[in-house]
Amino acid sequence: MSVKKINHIGIIVPSIEEALKPYVEALGLEAGEVQLLEQHKLRVVFLPVGDTQIELIEPLDAESDQAAFLRRTGGGFEHICFETSELEGELARLKGLGFRLIHEVPITGANNARIAFVHADGFHNVTVELCQLADCPA
């Protein structure tokens, strides 16, 4: 197993600007730059907390899974992301163990990271993201 650490916790929000307020004002966290992920029709921002991050995710497409999550739940905790240096190997291992992969082939996510998601049904209703950072050796 090559999971290194928790990279971030993903939270779906209706508005990044509104969602940032309590994290910045009440907790004193500093937000990174808001990123537009056109290919995923999302806006995201990361707030570092120690060696992990909070990711606020604003869906821009009313038909997306993230927008459906927002309608169904009102927003909130959506996924946990584990960092790995062997993304393809981890995906193959999880598939071999019977986990349902949302992405069998990694896609590009925020910060140019290679990412893939695993269905929540294998992790007690928690969606798992695996990421390999752009500067991480393959």
pTM: 0.91
Give the domain extent around 105: 3-132
Q: What's the pLDDT at 137?
A: 43
Task: Give the CATH number, domain containing residue 20.
Answer: 3.10.180.10
* Cβ–Cβ under 8 Å, residues 131 and 87: yes
Tell me which H or E stretch contains 65.
helix 65-73
On the question of pLDDT at 138 being above 50, the answer is no
38 within some domain: yes
138 within some domain: no
Strand order, beta sheet including 114-118? 35-37, 42-49, 52-59, 3-12, 76-84, 127-132, 114-118, 107-108
Domain total in the chain: 1
126 within some domain: yes
96 within some domain: yes
137 within some domain: no
Q: Write out pLDDT tens, residues 65-114.
A: 999 999 999 999 999 999 999 999 999 999 999 999 999 999 999 999 99
